[in-house]
Structure 1
Amino acid sequence: MKRAIGMLCFCLAAAPVFFLLPAAPASAGCGDRPAAGVDWSKCEKRRLMLGSQNLSKGSFVRTDFSRSDLAGAKLAGADLTEADFEHARLAGADLSGANLAKASGSRANFVEAVLKGADLSKAEMARADFTGADFTGATMQKAELGRALLNDAVLDGADLTKAEIARAVFAGASLKGADLTGAYTYLTHFEATDLSAAKGLTQMQLDAACGDAKTVLPEGLTAPAAWPCGQE
């Protein structure tokens, strides 16, 4: 009996213990099909037709989506840190709560995209089209939005602290509670824009910007004599 018990103990001691070890973290699967939670980090996804795909909560860190069609795609909660959207189409896409910090999207189409609560800190979106997009509560600190189109966009409660918005167009945009502290407003277009509830706006910023008789200003600020701006 003692010998049998001893053999049993030896067998248990020698048994593999791999079942006790935690599973190794999955690596990005560039060949994986589009799906919620997919990991395409650092993958090349250029010139693809991904419209209306559900990619919510996916990982796309430094993914190259340049010139791809993502119109109507679901990217809510996705990690798009440093992703490349140059010339991509994201019209009507849901990017609510997505992380687009340091993402690039020169000349990308974000018309009527939903970016509620998204993080666009230091994102480079020069000449992107955000007409009718919803940035409610978005973080846009130090974002590069030079010459971007934000006509009729909703930026209520958005943080545009130190954002570069030179020559960007905000005609008809809603900026209730938006923080423009330190934003660079050289020739920024605020024609027909209600700025009365915007925060952090100074007379110096307005003097560098463009507006017209329909621009509504915060209390204490006045329209510059140079308004409306002439043609550049």
Structure 2
Amino acid sequence: MASPSRFCLLALVSTFVLLLAGQEAVAACNTSPGVGVDWTKCEKRRLNLSGQDLSKGVFAHTDFGRTDLKDARFIGADLSEADFSNARLTGADLGKARMIKTHGDRADFAEAKLQGVDMTKAEMSRADFTGADFTGAVMIKAELGRSNLSGAILDGADMSRSEIARAIFKGASLAGSNLSEAYTYLARFEGTDLSQTKGLVQFQIDAACGDDETVLPAGLQRPASWPCGEE
């Protein structure tokens, strides 16, 4: 049987290890922004990081809420489960970034570069993606309800099983995009060419909104309910 003194020693060692780990984590969070920085689980809210090059960095579970990241670069970065709620990322370059389960409610991604990004199960409700480039992006099961994707480039994007209810796609480019099983309730496709999309079926079109300028895939019919009224 271990002696009481041995238990005390083990407890002290464990406490020391935990304190050391905590100090290392704090030190990592205080690292200056730059290529390859590791800010895992750090709080970076309400900061001005506009124009910073954070490419290939690790930001898993990092909180960027309300931070200004205009024109920042996150090329090839790991942003899994990071939080960009209400953050500003206009013109930011996130090409090939890993954004699995990333949060971005009401974030501003206007004109952002998101080519090849993996946004599987990302939660981006009410975000602004006006003019953003999602060419080749993976957006399977992404939550994009009420987001604005007007003029966005979604060519070749995989949006299968995504939630795009009430999202706006006016004038967006969707050539080769996969919309299989996407939830399209009141999604706005006015002025949008859907003829080259994949996976769309009639009930998805019936649930969505369009107008005389909406071009449908072969075999699908324009619903009598079009155009939808303004909400």
Residue number in structure 2 paired with 1:229: 228
Are 1:28 and 1:40, in contact at CA under 8 Å, matched by a contact in 2?
A: no
Residue number in structure 1 paired with 2:142: 143
Q: Which runs of 5+ in 1 are unaligned?
A: 1-25
Question: Which has the higher Rg, Structure 1 or Structure 2?
Answer: 1
TM-score (norm 2): 0.88
Are 1:151 and 1:172, in contact at CA under 8 Å, matched by a contact in 2?
A: yes
TM-score (norm 1): 0.88
SS in structure 2 at match of 1:29: helix
CA deviations 1:90-143 (Å, max 9, x no partner) are: 000000000010000000000000000000000000000000000000000000
Could you say what the CA RMSD is over the residues aligned between the two structures, in angstroms? 1.3
Are 1:110 and 1:131, in contact at CA under 8 Å, matched by a contact in 2?
A: yes
Residue number in structure 2 paired with 1:105: 104
Q: How many residues align?
A: 208
CA deviations 1:22-60 (Å, max 9, x no partner) are: xxxx99710000000000000000000000000000000
Equivalent positions of 1:153-168 (< 5 A) are 153-168=152-167
Are 1:41 and 1:61, in contact at CA under 8 Å, matched by a contact in 2?
A: yes
Counterpart of 2:146 in structure 1: which amino acid? R
Residue number in structure 1 paired with 2:58: 59
Residue number in structure 2 paired with 1:44: 43
Are 1:75 and 1:94, in contact at CA under 8 Å, matched by a contact in 2?
A: yes
Equivalent positions of 1:209-228 (< 5 A) are 209-228=208-227
Question: Could you tell me how far 1:161 is from its partner in structure 2?
Answer: 0.5
CA deviations 1:146-204 (Å, max 9, x no partner) are: 00000000000000010000000000000000000000000000000000000000000
Are 1:141 and 1:162, in contact at CA under 8 Å, matched by a contact in 2?
A: yes
SS in structure 1 at match of 2:192: coil
Question: Could you tell me how far 1:73 is from its partner in structure 2?
Answer: 0.2
Residue number in structure 1 paired with 2:6: none
Q: Which runs of 5+ in 2 are unaligned?
A: 1-24
Question: Could you tell me how far 1:222 is from its partner in structure 2?
Answer: 1.0
Residue number in structure 2 paired with 1:96: 95
Residue number in structure 1 paired with 2:130: 131
Question: Could you tell me how far 1:230 is from its partner in structure 2?
Answer: 1.3
Residue number in structure 1 paired with 2:75: 76
Aligned-residue sequence identity (percent) comes to: 64
Partner Cα distance (1:28, 1:62) in 2 = 17
Partner Cα distance (1:27, 1:196) in 2 = 52
Residue number in structure 1 paired with 2:120: 121
The answer to whether residue 32 in structure 2 is matched with residue 33 in structure 1 is yes
The answer to whether residue 210 in structure 2 is matched with residue 183 in structure 1 is no
Partner Cα distance (1:114, 1:38) in 2 = 20
Partner Cα distance (2:128, 2:71) in 1 = 15
Residue number in structure 1 paired with 2:171: 172
Question: Could you tell me how far 1:231 is from its partner in structure 2?
Answer: 2.4
Counterpart of 2:124 in structure 1: which amino acid? M
Equivalent positions of 1:193-204 (< 5 A) are 193-204=192-203
Are 1:28 and 1:41, in contact at CA under 8 Å, matched by a contact in 2?
A: no
